[in-house]
Amino acid sequence: MKHLFDITGKVAVVTGGSKGIGKAIAEALAAHGAKVVVASRKLDACQAVVDGIKADGGDGTAISCNITNREDLEKLVRESEAAYGQIDIMVANAAVNPFMGSNLDIPDDAFQKIMTCNVQSNLWLAQMVIPGMQARKDGAFIIVSSIGGLKGDRSLGAYAISKAADFQLARNLAVEFGKDNIRVNCIAPGLVKTDFAKALWTDPERSSKRLAGTPMARLGEPEDLAGIAVYLAAPAGSWTTGQVFVVDGGVMAGASAG
């Protein structure tokens, strides 16, 4: 039982790994023994995370990647495999949201960018890494989604649609590849204090409303999402697949009594 969270020797790739939730997950996976590829558009930011991992005794590699570009993702997979031989854990964390406003006003280009980045790129990654996992009869594919995919939203409509699509993508992949011992799951964070969500948690009105509806009476920190990622990547999660894990301080459970 002591090895439930030991992923020593496993190779993990984390997109959007240079900051926020992705950074926290990358650091946690490395702390539990994984060799971690930290990927994002800015190589220097990825390298800073890798330097921290190595300073703590871990193993990591930085690779620049724009996930909206299939060729870039192919390069990420190719260079990750060149560095470490294989990919055992894929964490699809990177996402975008270039539009906030009425569902009636979402520009076509913004909608397409959101769907390409938040859904299509995850399918591309699955197409690239799952065959190798099949050959080894082992693998964990983790999509960082959002509770936005579980409820309607007045101003984050396209983003919420993309996150709901991720849930179904995970279920589809879990059903198709469970026989190969490949586990596919989603993590659905609530409002976390990251640069990505800064427009939400720095807005006094939005922040106040969210806090009022959060039983734990605080917003999330990136580190709050690290533990569930380790669980899903590790032997502890070996019979867990096709699920959506909500980590939101209790928001989806219902408003606190006040």
pLDDT digits (tens, 9 = 90+) for 15-24: 999 999 999 9
159 carries an active-site annotation: yes
For residue 257, is pLDDT > 60?
no
pLDDT digits (tens, 9 = 90+) for 38-72: 999 999 999 999 999 999 999 999 999 999 999 99
Range of the domain at 85: 11-246
With 0-12 CB in 10 A as exposed, 13-18 as middle and 19+ as buried, what is 8? Answer: exposed
- Considering its fold, how many domains does the chain have in total? 1
pTM: 0.94
For residue 140, is pLDDT > 90?
yes
Q: Which of 84, 99, 124, 159 is catalytic?
A: 159
Reduced to 3 states (helix: H, G, I; strand: E, B; else coil), residue 41 is: coil
Residue 126, in any domain of the structure? yes
- The pLDDT, as a whole number, for residue 130 is 98
Residue 257, in any domain of the structure? no
Residue 212, in any domain of the structure? yes
Residue 168, in any domain of the structure? yes
Q: For position 205, which CATH number holds?
A: 3.40.50.720
Question: Rounded to an integer, what distance in angstroms lies between the CA atom of residue 221 and that of residue 68?
Answer: 26
Helix extents (H) in the chain = 20-31, 43-55, 70-84, 108-115, 121-136, 157-177, 198-201, 204-212, 226-233
Would you tell me the crossing angle of helices 157-177 and 121-136 to the nearest 10 degrees? 20
Residue 196, in any domain of the structure? yes
Q: What is the dihedral of CA 126, 77, 64, 71, to 10 degrees?
A: -80
Residue 253, in any domain of the structure? no
One-letter identity of residue 112: Q
Q: What is the mean pLDDT of the chain?
A: 94
Question: Rounded to an integer, what distance in angstroms lies between the CA atom of residue 37 and that of residue 256?
Answer: 39
- The pLDDT, as a whole number, for residue 37 is 98
Three-point CA angle 162, 208, 245, nearest 5°: 40
Residue 1, in any domain of the structure? no
Contact 11, 85 (CB under 8 A): yes
